[in-house]
A and B are shown apart, each in its own frame.
Chain A
Amino acid sequence: MSARITRDDVAHVAALARLRLDEEHLDLFTGQLAAILEHAEDVEALDLSDVPPTSHPFPLVNVARPDVAGPTLSNDDALAAAPSAQDGRFRVPTILGEAP
């Protein structure tokens, strides 16, 4: 059985998920997530060491497409919904930090 989810856990997860929770939501979500996870304890308690996981409900393998080019979007269409664009590109504010 996992330890009960804490307020700090919730704050950490919010940061991972790029969400900002105010104090009220931190408390609310901590309680609600704990309740949901508590409900999931019936699953946690099962011994499933010999059971394989199911990641796809309908088992298929080797679904691929031929390497043939299809239609592309025009630059205008690609940028049509962009909140901000410049020089044919999507514009974003300062990026802090390199990609992993």
Chain B
Amino acid sequence: MPQVLSAKERSLFQTVVRNYEDKQYKKGIKAADQILKKNAKHGDTLAMKALIMNSQGKTEEAFALAKVALQCDMKSHVCWHVYGLLWRAVKNFEEAIKAYKFALRLEPESAQIQRDLALLQIQMRDYQGYIVSRKSMLQSRSHIRQNWTALAVAHHLNGELAEAEGVLTTYEETLKNPPSKTDFENSEAVMYKNSLIAEQGDYQKALDHLESAGKHNLDRLAILELRATYLTKLGKKEEATKAYRALIERNSEYKKYYDGLVEAMAIDAADHKALKAVYDEYAEKYPRNDAARRLPLDFLDGDDFRETADKYIHRMLDKGVPSTFANLKHLYSSSFKRETLPSLVQQYINSGKSEANEEPKRNGDTSKGASSAYYFLAQHYSYYLSRDLDKALEYIEKAIDLEPQSVDFHMTKARIWKHYGDSHKASEIMEQARTLDNRDRHINTKAAKYQLRNNENEAAIKTMGMFTRAETVGGPLADLHDMQCVWFLTEDGQSYARQGKVGLALKRFMSIYNIFDVWQEDQFDFHSFSLRKGQIRAYVDMIRWEDKLREHPFYTRAALSAVDLYLKLHDKPLANGTNGAADGDEDASERKKAAKKARKEAQKAEREALARKNEPNKATKEGDSDPKKKDDDPDGAKLAATTEPMTDAMKFLTPLLQFSPNSIDAQIAGFEVYIRRKKYLLALRCLLAASALDNEHSKVHSQTIRFKLALDKDLATLPPKVAEIIKSEFTLLPESVSLTQFNNDYLSKYEDCARRTLSGLSARKLLAHDLAPSTDADVVKVLKIDNVAMEEAVEGLELLQSWKSGALEAFRKAAAAKWPNATVFAASS
């Protein structure tokens, strides 16, 4: 039987609650202890104490105490609710839901518990449960609009569109007076309802609803856009045309409107003349408009293209618009356009100088024409589809001669050096560009990125520090973490990975992983916030975005890098510390230096901590007192010291395969992990997926051979059912041909492709060890293949490195002769 408190203690208990709310944790604990002195087994008090302890960071003790509380008073909803809150705090939402449900059973009337439960259900995407919760919340408070809307959202997310619409309609019918025109919540709800109707595919109804209920809606733009869409879908040509014209009047630079207009007018895609006329009309109407002049370049061809492009280029270069090339480079997929554009610019240069003085209509400053034209050509020759770096360098120097202070020009110069493979020089020039404008954040980040590419991590963080918040504890790096600066963390991690500093690299990639976790959790607040604000359309969009959050390229990139590091750790566990050079060529003195430095840093941190302790009055940041925030592994030593790198890799790999199944790199990485873990079915799954995506991919070939080799060894040990499946589904190899023959065929078939040749050679190494010297020599010969790209040569270098081949030096020399500027091939000093 639960203990009963006296009146005095009851008020004391309320003090505990208030103390908790006000975050006066110490006072709260004191008051709770006072109650417990007389009533040692009072469940609610114990629970509240546990809750307060949890807020103080003592999670384990809090859980233990909460369990005691439950033993004392199984029938108390407070105890169960606290138990749920504790689970929620450690992000175990499933357990939290269970606890809340218990609490709710004991206290069905508690709106608060119900609300917390509902929030968790939607966070966990338990739509069925969410509908039930929302229904009961509506029943208890049916006069509040957001409860109705919430139920509609619940149905909507569960795929019951008609139900959702019905709920909204029911609410509307209960209103005595129509809501005022300025009622934002109503305005948004109407639009939400409209989107529900449209999602059901009934465009006529959606249009009617839009024209009646949406007449005075506050979101004018959405109304106009939706109306145009619906009209087009319904085939009402004239009205749709009018609607799109109205939209272009509002914003004449938006491509989507032009596309819509063309679609509404039902112009044949081949009728370039008619299409062009549409754009010309607006180009004439708006003399400063860009879109109407540029967009026709997408579809025009031949002389029409030349003429239009010439006009466009003249206009842009005269004004000295720096983004001219960026505006046009998407046209380079067509070889005709790729050749026409630079020739037009060349003509412009040839004629420009004389015209600049004579032509009066080019009023204003035309002095920028020449330099922008050179700038365009420099970018043209730096672009990967039309690369000729020597020419690019020539043009950018001309441009810089004309405008020595241009940040853009220096930036492009740095990029050209990057394409040469000279990361050192690239970083130097980017830094030079940065000093031309110290207050430009864009060039600042560029400079930092180039420093990272050149493995200057310290310098990069210093560069970034010019723009991070100065007062952040932990310096710029901590601020970049706080600000979730994913690009920096990725580049920093990849830089450390190149240097063999596995721990630090893993640390960065783990940070990115965690940032995605935070983004996942961030939605929690919006389940209630968006409803309160009435912004339902944006909320539904956000929920759908969250559902596929990890398909973002940021995640893919970091995850692939992390998996790669773990693979290397698996194949060759680190011998010499966690952040030493992987090849072990770091000499002892340098290691000593590093150790000394680390010691110094640790001492410094200690001193700082001490200083903070000694100054308790100094306003410390919340983060400081929070023990969770302290990083006990700043260099990622623990991460790199893992004994199960493949298990750790799964953490990154699983979401990768789930959300980016169409990324061939993901499937290839998946194969590498699974085959090492001897999960042959899953390895086969990745291999089949990769082969379906791109049968010609070089890695698919070598992985096929490796899979077969692994099977030859292990097939007998597999469960018979598994072996059977593998036999029936692994059909990538021809039946009658031997592996060696298969590989040789591949090698001769792709003798013109460096990357595929490397793949075949790596397979040959596995198939026949006795051929090793000749295989190594063949890798060096890859450099003689025409069109071999620098990236492919780097892969060859890495391959030889992994073999510890004697041919490495020969390869390096040959590559260095071919790419004299590339830092990767330079002789190590």
Task: Indicate, yes or no, whether A interacts with B.
Answer: no
